[in-house]
């Protein structure tokens, strides 16, 4: 059975990632990419669907774990009656070689003599395929279809009930390595690597990267860990950043809101770029900007909300009926049908991201402005149409207030770019459109009876996405209509101090009601309080939010305030990006005005 989500930690090589439980079991790993079929799928199935456990044979009296400082190397310590051992888990960086991916585990004896056991179950294609396993030249090889995996270790293993098992004893001072390597099955296994040298190189690389962080504030530990997580969720060859390395971790335990987040969302573009640039990572921001331009190239009307990690457009959704789901949360899905939805807000996110890139001094390709103008020609007509909104509702299209607001952002940022950087543009036309959209939102998006902007025109449903209104500069935080919206959201969408996205309604989103508090929205409330000058309140809420990070500093998409548990895909890039940006805003707020994206 899978552990609580907060009991997992992330390791990765910037091509894929694994989740390691505090019990020493790797329950999730897709090879060789984030979006490849999993070879360990116990997280959303059972141990028989693939897992690799490595732990003491006897009862564990106590366990402790931590990331080695400013790295993605996880160290788990087990204390038993026989002694203490620690387990180092990491994935070495492979210098651009796409024909291998490695997971290294080193068992270190700290005291006494501790009997250990390992059970390794290879299951390709999300647990559906049991591979052929052979021993050759002191290597264990597992092959099925396109995938090959080999295990190298000095420990003597044997087969048992379609699993590879071993028992061994670790004494004080011992260091026993296990090296698991993926390779294309039509090739020979790649040469072994020195686990200890790989450990030294991996540790040095992550520490060197973390040292570039420019954040100077009281929450440096959380900011650096969030940046490291964001880097680990980056696909190094393309610059794409996946929303999460997992699929189908539920928004509500036992529910049906189970989505595949192993793709790149256009909507995350501006938040991510600003978090990277503000923290001193211009190269990563530029790579993300370039990924964005490549992905959205093509016919403007066919712009998608999400793409594969290399910009792939076909990410059709399927249900895997042989998996029971995390804590019986069915269905398990791969792919994401929402990628083909009409969501007009993403045009504003693209323009905002590219505007931020220019104002932050990132070098720009000449074709970038041509892409932007083409998108705006389409949006000039399309902004009046209904869409499915930021939350990817699987119900009818509506005139979502947030979508209209982001259409205003698109023209606002394009006008600012044209004026500041001397770009050729139809400024009179864009200025008229900007004003028309602004007036339309004020006339139709605000409900006088409840004193707040609503989720869609003519409705009464509140929407936490409208907390972005002052953050994007549509109206100031001190505007009475914004203040009324913030107050209404705090009163009606707050759950034990955290913010839900909106009041679930099957007639709106086409799904059963029920989800936990959405962590990015809660961080947006922090930003609103800071912009309104309520710094003490903002800091109190921020402290509450970072307190739900797990013991190694990771956040999922949502937090269940009843069960006091993290839920949703994990770790979630959007949550960590929101944490980074709020930390910067609070630091600025103490020194002067808090940050508003429109002021860049």
pLDDT at 363: 75
- pLDDT tier, 592 (very low <50, low <70, confident <90, very high otherwise): low
- Distance from the Cα of residue 443 to its chain's centroid: 36
- Which whole number is the average pLDDT over 412-438? 96
What total of structural domains would you count in the chain? 2
- Return the minimum-mean-pLDDT range out of 312-321, 466-475, 561-570, 587-596: 587-596
Q: In this predicted model, what pLDDT tens digit does every residue of 26-84 receive, in sequence order?
A: 999 999 999 999 999 999 999 999 999 999 999 999 999 999 999 999 999 999 999 99
What is the per-residue DSSP string for 393-421? -SS--B-BHHHHHHHHHHHHHHHHHHHHH
Rounded CA separation 403/385 (Å): 10
- For the stretch 334-340, contacts whose Cβ atoms lie closer than 8 Å and that sit 24 or more positions apart, written own/partner, are 334/126, 334/247, 334/260, 335/260, 336/259, 336/260, 336/261, 336/263, 336/306, 337/394, 338/259, 338/305, 338/306, 338/388, 338/392, 338/394, 339/263, 339/304, 339/305, 339/306, 339/307, 339/313, 339/315, 340/304
Which one of 203, 221, 253 terminates a domain? 203
Burial (CB count <10 Å: 0-12, 13-18, 19+), residue 511:
middle
CA distance 464 to 326: 27
What are the pLDDT digits (tens) for 533-545? 999 999 999 999 9
Mean pLDDT of 430-440: 98
Q: What are phi and psi of 529, to 5 degrees?
A: -60, -40
Q: How far apart are CA 97 and CA 84, in angstroms?
A: 37
3-state helix, strand, coil in the chain (%, to 5): 35, 25, 40
pTM of the predicted model, to two decimals? Answer: 0.96
Separation of alpha carbons 265 and 252, rounded Å: 22
pLDDT at 138: 80
**Mean pLDDT within 176-198:** 96
How many angstroms separate the CA atoms of 157 and 185, rounded? Answer: 22
Residue 600 has pLDDT above 70, yes or no: no
Per-residue pLDDT of 206-251, as tens digits, reads 999 999 999 999 999 999 999 999 999 999 999 999 999 999 999 9
Instruction: Specify the pLDDT at position 1.
Output: 82
- Give the pair of three-digit tokens for residue 430: 């864009």
Q: Which of 203, 232, 250 is the last residue of a domain?
A: 203
Average pLDDT over residues 98-127: 96
Query: In 313-420, which ranges are E strands?
Result: 318-319, 333-334
Across all residues in the chain, what is the average pLDDT?
Answer: 93
Report the CATH number that the domain containing residue 427 is assigned in CATH.
Answer: 1.50.10.10
Q: Is 311 left (phi over 0), alpha (psi -120 to 50) or beta?
A: left
Give the position of tokens 């439980």: 21
pLDDT of amino acid 367: 76
For residue 595, pLDDT beyond 70: no
Rounded Cα–Cα distance for residues 517 and 501 (Å): 7
pLDDT for 514: 59
Count of beta carbons in the 10 Å neighbourhood of residue 352: 26
For residues 53 and 12, membership in a common domain is answered with: yes
Mean pLDDT to the nearest integer, 405-423: 96
| 141 vs 516: CA distance, rounded Å | 43
Q: 324 and 232 share a domain?
A: yes
Q: Is 80 exceeded by the pLDDT of residue 504? A: no
Q: Is the CB of residue 234 less than 8 Å from the CB of residue 14? A: yes
Return the higher-pLDDT residue of 503 and 534: 534
The answer on 219 and 154 residing in a single domain is no
Q: Decide which of 163, 179, 203 is a domain's last residue.
A: 203
- Residues 183 and 222 placed together within one structural domain of the fold: no
CA distances from 162 to 129, 134, 377, 428 (A): 11, 12, 59, 70
Q: Cβ distance 444 to 389 under 8 Å?
A: no
- Domain around 562: 212-599
Nearest to 437 by CA among 447, 425, 445: 445
Has residue 511 got a pLDDT over 60?
no
Give 320 or 353, the one with higher predicted confidence: 320
Q: Does residue 27 share a domain with residue 50?
A: yes
Say yes or no: 218 and 196 in one domain: no
> Is the pLDDT score of 151 beyond 70?
yes
Tell whether 533 and 551 lie within a shared domain: yes
The verdict on 233 and 315 lying in the same domain is yes
> What's the pLDDT at 133?
93
The answer to whether residues 147 and 235 belong to one domain is no
Answer for the pair 482, 470: CB distance below 8 angstroms, yes or no. yes
Q: What is the CATH number of the domain that holds 159?
A: 2.70.98
Q: Quote the pLDDT of residue 115.
A: 98
Q: Are residues 218 and 198 in the same domain?
A: no
Does one domain contain both 225 and 160? no
Q: Is the domain of 222 the same as that of 275?
A: yes
């Amino acid at each position: 059975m899978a552990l609580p989500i907060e009991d997992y930690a992330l390791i990765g090589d910037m091509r894929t990632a694994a989740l390691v439980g505090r019990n020493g079991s790797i329950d999730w790993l897709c090879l060789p990419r984030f979006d490849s079929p999993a070879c360990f799928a116990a997280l959303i199935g059972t141990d028989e669907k693939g897992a690799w456990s490595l732990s003491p044979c006897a009862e564990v009296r106590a366990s402790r774990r931590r990331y080695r400082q400013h790295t993605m190397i996880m160290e788990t310590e087990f204390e038993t009656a026989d002694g203490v051992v620690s387990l180092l888990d990491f994935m070495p960086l492979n210098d651009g070689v796409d024909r291998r991916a490695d997971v290294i585990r080193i068992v270190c004896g700290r005291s006494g003599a501790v009997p250990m056991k390992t059970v390794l179950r290879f299951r390709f294609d999300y647990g559906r395929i049991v591979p052929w396993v052979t021993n050759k030249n002191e290597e264990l090889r597992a092959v099925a279809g396109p995938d090959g995996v080999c295990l190298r270790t000095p420990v003597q293993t044997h087969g048992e009930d379609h699993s590879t098992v071993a028992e061994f004893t670790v004494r004080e001072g011992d260091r026993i390595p296990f090296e698991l390597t993926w390779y294309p099955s039509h090739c020979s296994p790649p040469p072994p690597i020195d686990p200890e040298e790989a450990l030294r190189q991996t540790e040095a690389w992550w520490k060197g990267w973390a040292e570039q962080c420019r954040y100077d504030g009281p929450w440096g530990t959380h900011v650096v860990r969030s940046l490291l997580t964001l880097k680990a969720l980056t696909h190094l060859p393309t610059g794409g950043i996946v929303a999460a390395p997992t699929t189908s971790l539920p928004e509500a335990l036992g529910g049906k809101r189970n989505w595949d987040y192993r793709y790149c969302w256009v909507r995350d573009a501006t938040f991510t770029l600003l978090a990277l640039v503000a923290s001193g990572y211009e190269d990563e921001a530029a790579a993300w900007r370039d990924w964005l331009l490549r992905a959205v190239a093509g016919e403007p009307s066919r712009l998608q909300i999400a793409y594969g990690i290399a910009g792939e457009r076909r990410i059709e959704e399927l249900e895997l009926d042989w998996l029971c789901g995390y804590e019986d949360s069915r269905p398990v899905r791969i792919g994401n049908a929402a990628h083909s939805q009409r969501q007009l807000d993403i045009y504003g996110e693209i323009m905002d991201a590219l505007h931020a890139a220019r104002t932050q001094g990132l070098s720009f390709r000449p074709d970038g402005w041509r892409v932007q103008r083409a998108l705006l020609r389409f949006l000039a007509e399309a902004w009046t149409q209904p869409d499915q909104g930021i939350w990817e509702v699987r119900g009818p299209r509506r005139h979502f207030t947030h979508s209209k607001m982001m259409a205003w952002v698109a023209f606002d940022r394009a006008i600012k770019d044209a004026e500041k950087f001397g770009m050729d543009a139809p400024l009179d036309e864009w200025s008229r459109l900007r004003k028309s959209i602004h007036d339309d939102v004020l006339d139709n998006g605000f409900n006088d009876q409840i004193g707040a902007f609503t989720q869609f025109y003519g409705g009464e449903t509140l929407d936490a996405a409208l907390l972005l209104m002052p953050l994007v500069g549509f109206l100031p935080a001190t505007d009475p209509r914004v203040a009324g919206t913030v107050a209404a959201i705090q009163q009606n969408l707050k759950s034990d101090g955290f913010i839900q996205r909106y009041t679930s309604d099957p007639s709106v989103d086409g799904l059963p009601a029920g989800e936990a508090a959405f962590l990015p929205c809660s961080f947006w409330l922090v930003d609103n309080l800071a912009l309104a000058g309520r710094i003490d309140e903002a800091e109190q809420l921020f402290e509450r939010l970072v307190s739900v990070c797990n013991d190694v500093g990771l956040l999922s998409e949502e937090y269940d305030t009843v069960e006091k548990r993290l839920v949703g895909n994990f770790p979630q890039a959007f949550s960590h990006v929101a944490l980074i940006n709020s930390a910067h805003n609070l630091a600025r707020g103490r020194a002067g005005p808090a940050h508003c994206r429109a002021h860049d």
